[in-house]
Amino acid sequence: MSKPVLRGLVIAAFFALTAFALVPTFVPRPAFIPGFAPPPDMWPRTVSLIGIALGLLALCLALTRPAAEEEPIETDGSSPWRMGLRFAGLVGVFGLFLALIPYLGFLLSTMALTLVVVLMTGERDHKLWIFLLSFVGPGLLLLFFTYSLGTQFPKGALTKPFGF
């Protein structure tokens, strides 16, 4: 199986897992939704369905295009073993994110996830951008989705007394 075919399958599978397993589990759907308001799971489901479509598009393009000679990619000299270890670390961080949501809530878990993922890329020079992306970005997104679109996010057991 070629890399582009595998890439399309992995993208489609990831977003399918998100759309059909994670969104129904972690996004509560209230008993009554007014006719003019979208349900809370509309945006996560929409993004997941778009991700599935893009993964399937990548898969179709990989299957219909003739196999081209891949150019060697310049890397930072990391061995495949080290890159696999970094990937395993990212999967572990996402698993930790899912485990922390019931305790810390969506906002603090997302802040921690964003900070760790940015730091795992090796970026350390732009401290202001790292701070804004990790702490201000999730806060602004939460405010936008909560107050503009009426989307509810999980509150953690430890952070409920503080309102987030």
The amino acid that residue 118 corresponds to is V
Give which of 147, 153, 142 is closest to 37, Cα–Cα: 147
Task: Please give the pLDDT value at position 85.
Answer: 83
* C-alpha–C-alpha distance, residues 97 and 108, integer Å: 10
Give this prediction's pTM.
0.55
Residue whose tokens read 């008993």: 31
Q: How many CB atoms lie within 10 A of CB 153?
A: 20
Tell me the pLDDT tens digit for each residue of 131-148.
Answer: 888 889 888 988 888 888
At 11-22, the pLDDT tens digits run: 999 999 999 998
For 62, residues 6+ apart whose C-beta sits below 8 A from its C-beta are 2, 4, 5, 7, 8
> Going by C-beta distance under 8 Å and a sequence separation of 6 or more, which residues neighbour residue 94?
113
The DSSP symbol for 76 reads S
- CA–CA gap between residue 164 and residue 162 (Å, rounded): 6
Residue-wise pLDDT tens digits, 52-101: 999 999 999 988 887 666 677 666 666 777 777 878 888 898 898 889 88
